[in-house]
Chains A and B, each alone.
Chain A
Amino acid sequence: MNDTMIRLTDVSKAYGEVPVLDKVNLEVKRGEFLVLLGASGCGKSTLLNLMAGFITPNTGSVEINGKKVTDVTAACGMVFQQYALFPWRTVQENVEFGLKMRGMSRQERAPIARKFIEMVGLKHAADKFPHALSGGMKQRVSIARVLANDPDVMLFDEPFAALDAMTRQVLQDQLLSIYEQSGKTIVFITHSIDEALTLSTRMAVMGSKPGRIVQDIQNDLPHPRSADVQLSPRFVELKRAIWERVQEEVTRSMELAGD
């Protein structure tokens, strides 16, 4: 059995003359929860878009579950920061979308969608249109929509950045329990160190100009990541280590930018 879910080999990407990623090598194991941390503009999103096949690398290769990514692939389900729900479809229809595209009949896809809507706790809102939902609810629909499509990998592009702190906490807890139930491989982008420490099993800190991975840490904090864990010496120790590295990178990139 192949243990590596995502393999990036010498991936470089430039937009015109501007190098965004330089020879990035990254392996993500099946069932890992990897959080990519970094300041804005370090190529985190580019890395995620490469995995989803939205863009192709200039050099190097991206493999998901042993298959080279050459086009947009449904093997990587993406949860966007802007939710990206279809406003003309109800919650139920949004969650069914991927199954419908695969040609599954209404009778087959409805119970699957219902199961995942229930999993994210939105059973009561199944027939509502997205505009009637709060930001947190929309993001839960978006997560259910990806789960229903049963991808190999789930990609999260700063999914909770637009939400208030309370909602974010609830969704983080929910995501952890979904992760434990589904056993999916997850790659999650954030610039919050606390969020990274709460969610991940492994963290990769990215540096910028050009983007590359500067620090790769296993997160050995015990589950569940309760308040006690979040106040433990180990949590603070990890946070300090990451914080110093991030600060160093941010300062360096600001100096390079000349401001």
Chain B
Amino acid sequence: MSWIPLSLLWFGITETQKYSIVFMGSFVPALLYVMEASRSIDPVLVRAARNLGANRWQVMREVLFPGCLPQILSGMKIILGLSWTCVISAELVASKEGLGFMIMNGKEFFQTDTVVLGMVLISFTVLVTDLCLRLLERWVLAWQR
């Protein structure tokens, strides 16, 4: 969040500035999630794959990636929420479009209904993206059941 003023100086009130805030807010947690996920893989699976003739690249694609996928997906749900928070915060501070802008604009003109509509839409978007990810998870991780 503390990057918002600096990013405004660098990029102005633009879409690029919003992207930069989302990047700052989500990159590090995403990296940490993937690191944690790769640590949780049973080393014996890597050894088995190597023993069956997989080279390092194949181990990455066939063992590390599918092995990390459950944690990556659950991490993605959290990070998506986090990114959404970043977008809205950035828009509330300064913007020319978007839900955050709509809420701030409504506030300026005492349009409580617009403000509330913006809030409802924010929650609704989160619900929909979460649902999409859940479906994706169920489809990709069919082997867990």
Contacts and interface: CB of A to CB of B under 8 A. Distances in A.
Interface of A: 52, 54, 72, 74, 76-78, 80, 82, 84, 86-89, 97-98, 101-102, 129, 131, 145-146, 149
Interface in B38-82: 42, 44-45, 47-55, 58, 62-63, 66-67, 69
B6 to A, nearest CB: 43
Contacts of B63: 86
B58 A101 contact: yes
A88 B66 contact: yes
A98 B44 contact: no
B47 A84 contact: yes
B51 A78 contact: yes
Given A78-B48, A129-B143, A86 B66 contact: yes
Report whether over half of chain A's contact residues are helix, strand or loop; otherwise say mixed.
Answer: loop
A74 B45 CA distance: 15
B123 interface: no
Interface residues of B, number: 20
A131 B62 CA distance: 18
Nearest to A130: B143
A52 B45 contact: no
B143 A87 contact: yes
A72 B51 CA distance: 6
18 contacts: A72-B51, A74-B52, A76-B51, A77-B51, A78-B47, A80-B44, A84-B45, A84-B47, A86-B45, A86-B48, A86-B62, A86-B66, A88-B67, A88-B143, A101-B52, A101-B53, A129-B143, A146-B52
Contact of B52 (A77, A82, A88, A129): A77
Contacts, number: 60
B52 A97 contact: yes
A126 to B, nearest CB: 15
A89 B66 CA distance: 10
B49 A97 contact: yes
Among B42, B45, B63, residue most surrounded by chain A Cβ atoms (within 10 Å): B45
Among B42, B53, B67, residue most surrounded by chain A Cβ atoms (within 10 Å): B53
A149 B52 CA distance: 7
Contacts of A88: 66-67, 69, 143
A76 B50 CA distance: 11
A52 B69 CA distance: 29
Contacts of B143: 87-89, 129, 131
Contacts of A78: 47-48, 51
